[in-house]
Structure 1
Amino acid sequence: MVLGRTLLRFFLLPLAAVIVAALIGITLIAEGVGGRLQGRETVSPQPRPSTEIQTHSLSAVQKPEIAKTESQSQILFGDLHVHTTFSADAFAFSLPIFQGEGAHPPADACDFARFCSALDFWSINDHAESITPRQWEETLESIRECNEVSDPLNPDTVAFLGWEWTQSAPPNASGEKIHYGHKNIILRDTEQDQVPTRPIGAGAGGLFQQPLPSAVWALARFGISARDLDQLQPYLDFNRFLREARSLKPCPEGVPVRDLPKDCLEGAETPEILFQKLDDWGFPSLVIPHGTSWGIHAPPDATLDQQLSRADHDPKRQRLFEVYSGHGNSEVYRKLIDINFDEEGERICAPPQNGYVPCCWQAGELIRERCEQNLTESECEERAKRTRQLAVETGNAYSVVSGTTPADWLECGQLPKGFLPAFDYRPNMSAQYGLSIVSEDGSTYRYGLIASSDNHSARAGSGYKEIPRSPMSDAYGLRDDWLDMLLTEGAKDPLPLETPQTIPGVATAFERGASFYYTGGLIAVHAGGRDRQSIWDALESRNVYGTSGDRILLHFNLLNSPEGSLPMGSEAETSEPPHFEVRALGAFEQHPGCPESVRDRLTPERLQKLCLGECYHPSDRRKKIERIEVVRIRKQLNANESIEDLIEDPWRTFQCVPNEAGCRVNFTDPEPDTERENVYYVRAIQEAEPTVNGSPVRCERDEHGACVRARNCAVSGPRFDPTDPCLANAQERAWSSPLFIRFND
């Protein structure tokens, strides 16, 4: 009895108290008790000097060497894809676990666009799936405050309101669920009665309901902070935000948008429902697909055909396509096959083809290399075959081979010889593929090509200089202690993992993918003025183009249409061989640092935190245009026609005289295919220069050009150098919007 009381008093009760205290502590941290809700913060009240705006405007208008005197348009540069830490993923990346910088609210995006990158326009595009009503109102106010700083008829920058609709199919869905991808919604207006009450996320009510039990999520939210109890506040803030978002209920389905409660999370499971809801609101808007070929979220068999229909494609709104961002290039189509089907119709790993190695195949080769010397070749092949099949079934090759590093995977899954390609490239989601196809109901894509940043630290237009990689791109990495805990580099099992190691596999993919983040691109518009409506008119007319970050000036015109000269983005019907003109001028070389006007308007601390001490600061010298490439696409006559021979890239190439005066080219297509629509666009390509992640895998190659050793640019671990921007020569470029030409008798 005495022993029992002693045990109870001195062991069980203290143990229970410790357990209760631990549970209380875990709950308090997981729920973000003591956390602060992030606000929009304050926009700087000063505009850029009008003289500076005038100088920039003149440099982007008619240049005698390249432009016609009758044109009254000017070229304006912007970014229509900017995230702040109001986005849940951006907030997470700002935490110490990811070596983050801390919060970057909407006011940072405005000040960065105005002072650091000197953009003419930009939009905010936080993920709608987790934006709370409070955040939406804060976003509205911040955008209005940004616009109120300068004259609306001649603003220094125009801020557009928007959000991102973010949908993905699982990597091993195999057609069970259509992958629609990510789309940015841009609104023309910002007045309270001219914008939706809430943004529209991707999914019905179930999207907002976490599949794991609440206790598991609580432990996860506590777990991310467990190694940072000495710097807990950012995690408390993050968990407080998650608690706010989780408290909201999904909006009821099938209810008109104006009749929905103000404080619910609204979802649209398909583009068709998204377009219906936008129609219900009736406000001018554009829907822009982006990151389409990015394998982080697109499964290997994703294809744009699946969403090309009168229901899921609205040609009035879906008029633009983001061909490039800081998440890579989604331009080109190449026949890259990851998955084949055997005689029974089962999915199997495709072998290497045309320089492309599927990652399921590389997984098998890694196991083959570990095969013991005393085993026969057939036994080693069986192990490799089993590994390949496991990689196909799990949808994550990294999770079925133990103890690997990013370098072990060489350049598997990547577009061979591509310009700054998207990671794990999906060619059937590319711009060229989309421009070539026609659906069974006759729908087709006729979109203008743009670029933007997709930056997640409120840095709109982050590609003006190739400076520190992580802040100016999304190359985030786990802190070393977390990486060491999650990876199992030392254990190199000679057999594949029948039970996939999901967390190490994801960590390896995350680290490897960081080599495929770049400084952001830009959208350029040929606009009649600097005001909001003039920019919007250019967007709707597709008189736009994209650049990989440099402010290249580009014109692409059809000269002999029945209506006269037509600019990029136009449609024409003619009976004559089309005659084209291209005019391009390289971007300004940059001075180091920031202009005096910026230093006068931002404190040194603000300048360093936001701009990293470097701004758009043009000299009077221009970079040289090396060549003009023309791409010709002959659109399908029907949905069953193979597209491989319909895309000619490049169809024509014109070398330019290497000088600062730019490049001008005239050409004719003497033999257009008059039985179908012909699509033409051009690339203006600058001379090579050092570029962040310009060679993502940094391969050493054998005499046949195969990658035999990789040196991925680390963002974590012992090889990570935060001062190394991982520069390699690449050729910055501009992509024109296409000209769409049909022929009559």
Structure 2
Amino acid sequence: MQRVTSKKGATRITALVVLALLLSYLTYQLLTPIDDPSLDGPRVTVVPVPNPNGFDAPHSVVAETPQVFWGDLHIHTSLSSDAFTMGVRAVPDDVYRFAKGETLTHGAGYPVTISRALDFAAVTDHAEYLGQAKLSDLDVPTTRQALSDILRRENRLTVTRSWWEIMSLIRDNGFKLTLEGVDADINRLAWEEIIAAAERHNAPGVFTTFAGWEWSADAGDVGTHLHRNIIYGGGGLPDIPFSAIDGPTPPELWAFLRAERALGRRVMAIPHNPNLSEGLAYRIADETGKRLESLSPVDRSELEPLSEILQIKGSSETHPLLSSLDEFADFEIAGTVPGRDMTLTSVKGAYARDALRSGISMSHSEGFNPLKFGVIGSSDSHNATSPSNEKGYTGKLPMMDGSAGLRTGAAGLGLNIMTPARKWGSGGLAGVWAAENTREALFDAMQRRETFATSGPRIVVSVFAGWSFPNQTATSPNFDAIARGKGVPMGSTLVASGENEAPEFVVVAERDPVGANLDRIQMIKGWVDAKGESQERIYDVAWSGDRVIDSVTKRLSPVGSTVDAAVATFDNSIGSPQLRAQWKDPDFDASQEAFYYARVLEIPTPRWSTYDAVQLGTKPMAPVSIQERAISSAIWYQP
């Protein structure tokens, strides 16, 4: 008897066959070892290129005229509990070895070498439970099996399961990853290891190290950052770091810093990731505008003379919700605390430009400015490296973003578990103008705020303000000497001249010698108007090519782009290697308190995610290109 199959039955059988084939394919994909080309070979190679000052970096220089020195004041090792559980095994000595040009093994198992050595660096491991995860017997994937083995030999299912196990451990325990609680002896031993490494590698005039740590407080919710890096410039060190367990609020930290300074110790705190603070990092007034005395002491600007505004977890210069007329405000915006919406309330008080405006507003009403700070960039790498390089980006936490496959999600189940890492930047660098490469000189320069931040490239920027610069000062071969003799550098206060003429600014910017040409120099101004309210305005003061500012939009036309996303390349056929400006504020009012800082933009270049996509043979995530930048510390005008 012949069996007859209905049309409906045939359709059902076909669907079941297709489903079976799909499940077989998915099982194969999930259980097949991951093929991630980024695990093969070094991500960064040594490029023997002289630095912009004409010295091989790290370079030895002793001069009366300040020079630019490049560094990273925010690097973690396996002594940080989050780094250790994420697969990091590097130690403080490795930070300085890498910074000086030696090759390290990344936590994900591949060799890494910095493209150009740094001039200074600091290990800033989390003070909370310092060293305890490393020295305890933790049952997590990266202690049962090396991270490099997990990534090379396991499959997407195993990688994802390992990720969830580690993240659950951190979420449930925070930095407290042992049942025994705080062990002061372990903290002290770890601190001694950090100090010993700094002393072994410090070479005055050649390479400078700073002892320090990270104070990692939150606002009661995990992810709401109030973090600071504590940096010592010599003159004695404490027996053990002061952590957020010892004092969980900024006023308690400041009390500790005052006590340290009373002992003759040179120390400062550097806030970082204010962009993840939910508006609390720079909060100094309540909803009515009344000063919060505990958060705005007179000496806050002395205790915290700098803020780190460019790093892996995004930019903290400004935000589109705060600077809606700033066409370049949407740069490496990393988002907010996971699970929360980004609103005007959450970003106000969380970005540097808004904080500078709040500071001059309080100066206008209270007679002092608690938010008078300069800026730097750093990495916040947790793998003993400084990966501030788009082409050679190696990530922050190895298990989270230590390979191209992890960063793009190709190594997981596609559950958006790596979403935060996809929004992160490649890091930043600190540029410091100092007379010599020593702890004393660099610390002095940081205390006086003669610093600038870059998003990674070594763009050199000089900014001075004064009342009587000679014509052509900006183009003079003796620019620095003339500008210093007639004006004040970034980080300074320009006192009123007694007349109503506008101050003059001279700015010189030079591209990274192995990087991209420059698009433009902008001056960002913030001021307090007659009503006591702060305002901001952006001026294009120098640019490449023959572009003009539109008479209607008041904006300079875009520089264009040479980026080819398919192969992750660009060329310097547009832009300029150097830009100079001598500029007066056309809207100056001598009665209004103000600040000014320079922002220098490169031409567009490929983002790290585009380099990753080419390496993996996948479609790049948006944006495929970025405009790297340098941001100077401000100069304040005091009526």
Q: What TM-score bracket applies, with the shorter chain setting the length?
A: 0.5 to 0.7
1:273 & 1:475 partners in 2: Cα distance?
32
2:617 & 2:421 partners in 1: Cα distance?
13
Quote how far apart the aligned CAs of 1:464 are. 3.6
Change (3 A) 1:473 1:527: farther
Aligned counterparts, 1:513-532, within 5 A:
513-532=420-439
**Structure 1 residue aligned with 2:586:** 670
1:691 & 1:552 partners in 2: Cα distance?
17
- CA deviations over 1:141-183 (Å, ceiling 9, x no partner): 444444434642x22x21101111112225699xxxxx77111
- CA deviations over 1:519-553 (Å, ceiling 9, x no partner): 21000011101122111111111111010001111
**Structure 1 residue aligned with 2:128:** 129
**Structure 1 residue aligned with 2:540:** 652
Change (3 A) 1:127 1:573: same
How many aligned positions are there? 445
**Structure 1 residue aligned with 2:335:** 423
**Structure 2 residue aligned with 1:717:** none
Q: CA contact under 8 A between 2:218 and 2:248: conserved in structure 1?
A: no
Structure 1 residue identity aligned to 2:268: L
Aligned counterparts, 1:14-413, within 5 A:
55-56=50-51, 58-59=53-54, 72-94=65-87, 102-115=88-101, 116-117=113-114, 118-131=117-130, 132-149=184-201, 151-152=203-204, 154-155=205-206, 157-170=207-220, 181-189=226-234, 194-203=236-245, 267-282=246-261, 283-294=265-276, 298-299=277-278, 304-305=283-284, 309=292, 311-313=294-296, 314-335=300-321
Q: CA contact under 8 A between 1:105 and 1:458: conserved in structure 2?
A: yes
Q: CA contact under 8 A between 1:542 and 1:570: conserved in structure 2?
A: yes
Q: CA contact under 8 A between 2:312 and 2:396: conserved in structure 1?
A: no
Quote how far apart the aligned CAs of 1:577 are. 0.7
Aligned counterparts, 1:585-596, within 5 A:
585-589=510-514
**SS in structure 2 opposite 1:433?**
helix
Structure 2 residue identity aligned to 1:162: G
Quote how far apart the aligned CAs of 1:555 are. 0.4
- CA deviations over 1:611-649 (Å, ceiling 9, x no partner): xxxxxxxxxxx53111111111114788xx554xx022x
Q: CA contact under 8 A between 2:357 and 2:526: conserved in structure 1?
A: yes
2:579 & 2:322 partners in 1: Cα distance?
34
1:450 & 1:570 partners in 2: Cα distance?
15
Change (3 A) 1:742 1:300: closer
2:357 aligned with 1:436: yes
1:93 & 1:652 partners in 2: Cα distance?
44
Gaps of 5+ in 1: 1-48, 62-69, 95-101, 174-178, 204-266, 338-353, 356-414, 490-506, 590-621, 696-712, 715-719
Change (3 A) 1:328 1:172: closer
Change (3 A) 1:301 1:540: closer
**SS in structure 2 opposite 1:467?**
coil
- CA deviations over 1:672-729 (Å, ceiling 9, x no partner): 233332110011111111121479xxxxxxxxxxxxxxxxx99xxxxx9699996821
**Structure 2 residue aligned with 1:627:** 520
Quote how far apart the aligned CAs of 1:300 are. 6.8
Q: CA contact under 8 A between 1:87 and 1:126: conserved in structure 2?
A: yes
Q: CA contact under 8 A between 1:75 and 1:526: conserved in structure 2?
A: yes
- CA deviations over 1:197-234 (Å, ceiling 9, x no partner): 1111124xxxxxxxxxxxxxxxxxxxxxxxxxxxxxxx
**Structure 2 residue aligned with 1:690:** 606
**Structure 2 residue aligned with 1:511:** 418
- CA deviations over 1:268-317 (Å, ceiling 9, x no partner): 122111111122222111111110112xxx33787623597553342212
Structure 2 residue identity aligned to 1:165: W
- CA deviations over 1:652-675 (Å, ceiling 9, x no partner): 343124566411111101332333
Change (3 A) 1:120 1:477: closer
Structure 2 residue identity aligned to 1:159: T
Q: CA contact under 8 A between 2:314 and 2:334: conserved in structure 1?
A: yes
Change (3 A) 1:312 1:581: same
Q: CA RMSD in A?
A: 3.9
Quote how far apart the aligned CAs of 1:125 are. 1.1
**SS in structure 2 opposite 1:316?**
helix
Q: CA contact under 8 A between 2:598 and 2:632: conserved in structure 1?
A: yes
1:652 & 1:659 partners in 2: Cα distance?
15
1:564 & 1:552 partners in 2: Cα distance?
24
2:617 & 2:384 partners in 1: Cα distance?
20
Change (3 A) 1:280 1:146: closer
State TM-score, norm by structure 1.
0.54
**SS in structure 2 opposite 1:535?**
helix
1:451 to 356, 377, 382: 377
Q: CA contact under 8 A between 2:202 and 2:208: conserved in structure 1?
A: no
**Structure 2 residue aligned with 1:601:** none
Q: CA contact under 8 A between 1:309 and 1:443: conserved in structure 2?
A: no
Q: CA contact under 8 A between 1:456 and 1:474: conserved in structure 2?
A: no
1:417 & 1:694 partners in 2: Cα distance?
21
2:607 & 2:71 partners in 1: Cα distance?
20
**Structure 2 residue aligned with 1:555:** 462
- CA deviations over 1:567-621 (Å, ceiling 9, x no partner): 11110112331101110110022xxxxxxxxxxxxxxxxxxxxxxxxxxxxxxxx
**SS in structure 1 opposite 2:284?**
helix
2:75 & 2:617 partners in 1: Cα distance?
23
Gaps of 5+ in 2: 1-45, 57-62, 102-112, 131-183, 337-341, 470-484, 546-573
State TM-score, norm by structure 2.
0.62
**SS in structure 2 opposite 1:128?**
coil
Q: CA contact under 8 A between 1:127 and 1:164: conserved in structure 2?
A: yes
Give the % identical residues.
25
**SS in structure 1 opposite 2:597?**
strand
Structure 1 residue identity aligned to 2:73: L
Structure 1 residue identity aligned to 2:512: A
1:533 to 425, 440, 463: 440
Q: CA contact under 8 A between 2:79 and 2:190: conserved in structure 1?
A: no
**SS in structure 2 opposite 1:202?**
coil
1:92 & 1:423 partners in 2: Cα distance?
24
Q: CA contact under 8 A between 1:475 and 1:517: conserved in structure 2?
A: no
**Structure 1 residue aligned with 2:486:** 564
Q: CA contact under 8 A between 1:129 and 1:202: conserved in structure 2?
A: yes
Change (3 A) 1:560 1:521: same
2:452 aligned with 1:545: yes
Q: CA contact under 8 A between 1:679 and 1:741: conserved in structure 2?
A: yes
1:75 & 1:722 partners in 2: Cα distance?
39
